[in-house]
Amino acid sequence: MLEISGVTKTFNDLKAVDDLSFKVNDGEIVGFVGPNGAGKTTTMKILTGILKPDCGTVNVNGFDMAKSPLEAKEIIGYIADSPDMFLRLKGIEFLNFIADIYKVPTDVRRERIETFATRFGLIDALDLPMQSYSHGMRQKAMVAAALVHNPPVWILDEPLIGLDPKSAYELKNMMREHAAKGNCVLFSTHVLEVAEKLCDKIIIINHGKDIFYGTMDELSAKYPGLDFEQIFLEMTGEK
């Protein structure tokens, strides 16, 4: 379970996140959508403990991020917005490094690395420096690293960017499987179609405020006769 309550974050008098509250329940996939600069990445950074909110609380499976940050961070799997990380390491070194940081036992990590490497087609690249990877390959390595400790809470910042169709398909399936096991997934995307098909709930954010939080059915009921794209443009005032 992931819950954010009354969170505000200001940068140089600009409110990037404004009194934001929502909850991602266990067993749910929640899509986080909004225009560029709406505050999605800032919110995700607050949820993962990277940024400290001016006010409000973040709760991850019962752990308050301000009071028990290490416990909260241990159960989060986070994919950052850029996959250009530790490029001097080889893929296998990077995965082992992250597995060590999250204290994943040897036999468990071997099994998981094999699973991810097979599903994402990474096997032949694992012994190469990540600097030689394409953008998509780096993103796959990031996804594998974020999930290698099998965290119950997934926070994924635009995880599908750069992935080839097969890997994107695999990741979407993995999200479904993860949620089906009673865990929660929050992911941001600009591809409305993906959010519409994959998510149990949608959060639409604009200028740091949530302008909608609910199921697709609830959203469609509010705007009869419009598809998701039209609704999004209508709500964010970009039409």
Partner 1 sequence: MSTYTALTKAFIKSLSMSKSNDKRTRITMKVIVAVVVLFIFVPVAIFCSLMTYSLVDNLSYFHIQDLGVAMVFHMISLFSLFFGFNVIFSEFYFSSDIEFVRPWPVKAWELVASKFTVSFYVDNAMQVFMVIASLVGFFFAAKPGVMSYVASVFATITLPILPLCYCGILSMIVMRFTKAIKNKEGVQRVSAVVLAFLILIFVILFRVLASNAEDAVHFFVTETNSPFVEYMNKIFPTVHFISRAIAFGSVTDLLIYLLINVFAIALMLLVAELLYFKGFENLVSNGKAKARSFSALMEKSIQTTPFKAYFKKELMILVRTPSFFTNCVIPNFIWPVFVLIILKMQTYDASLTALRMYNTNRPKIVGFFLIVGSVVFSLIMTSLNSIASNAISREGKHFQFMKYIPVPYDMQWDIKVLVSFLLTFIGIWMYLLPACILIHINVIYVLVAIALSILSITFGSYMGVYIDSIQPKLVWDDELSVLRENTNVALSMGIALGISIAIGAVCYAFYAFVKVRLLLVSLSLFVLLALLNLFVLWRTAKRGKKNIAEQEEM
Q: List residues binding partner 1 (CB under 8 A).
A: 11-12, 45, 48-52, 69-71, 73-74, 76, 78, 80, 82, 84-86, 88-89, 92-93, 95-97, 99-106, 109-110, 113-114, 117, 123-129, 131-132
Nearest approach in angstroms of CB 221 to partner 1 is 37
Nearer to partner 1 among residue 91 and residue 202 (C-beta): 91
CA dist 83 and 116 (Å) reads 16
Nearer to partner 1 among residue 56 and residue 214 (C-beta): 56
> What is the enclosing helix (H) or strand (E) of 55?
strand 55-60
Nearest approach in angstroms of CB 202 to partner 1 is 25
Nearest approach in angstroms of CB 170 to partner 1 is 18
Nearest approach in angstroms of CB 124 to partner 1 is 7
Nearer to partner 1 among residue 64 and residue 93 (C-beta): 93
Give every strand in the sheet of 209-214, ordered side by side: 76-79, 153-157, 184-188, 29-33, 201-206, 209-214
CA nearest to 84, candidates 131, 129, 116: 131
Say which amino acid occupies 7: V
Nearer to partner 1 among residue 103 and residue 217 (C-beta): 103
Nearest approach in angstroms of CB 139 to partner 1 is 14
Nearer to partner 1 among residue 102 and residue 228 (C-beta): 102
Instruction: Give the burial class of 225: count Cβ atoms within 10 A of its Cβ; 0-12 exposed, 13-18 middle, 19 or more buried.
Output: exposed
According to DSSP, residue 126 is labeled: T
Nearer to partner 1 among residue 123 and residue 180 (C-beta): 123
Locate 103 and state its tokens.
């204290």
Q: Pairing between strand 63-64 and 55-60?
A: antiparallel
Say which amino acid occupies 16: A
Contact 120, 91 (CB under 8 A): no
CA dist 186 and 103 (Å) reads 24
CA dist 51 and 224 (Å) reads 38
Nearest approach in angstroms of CB 102 to partner 1 is 7
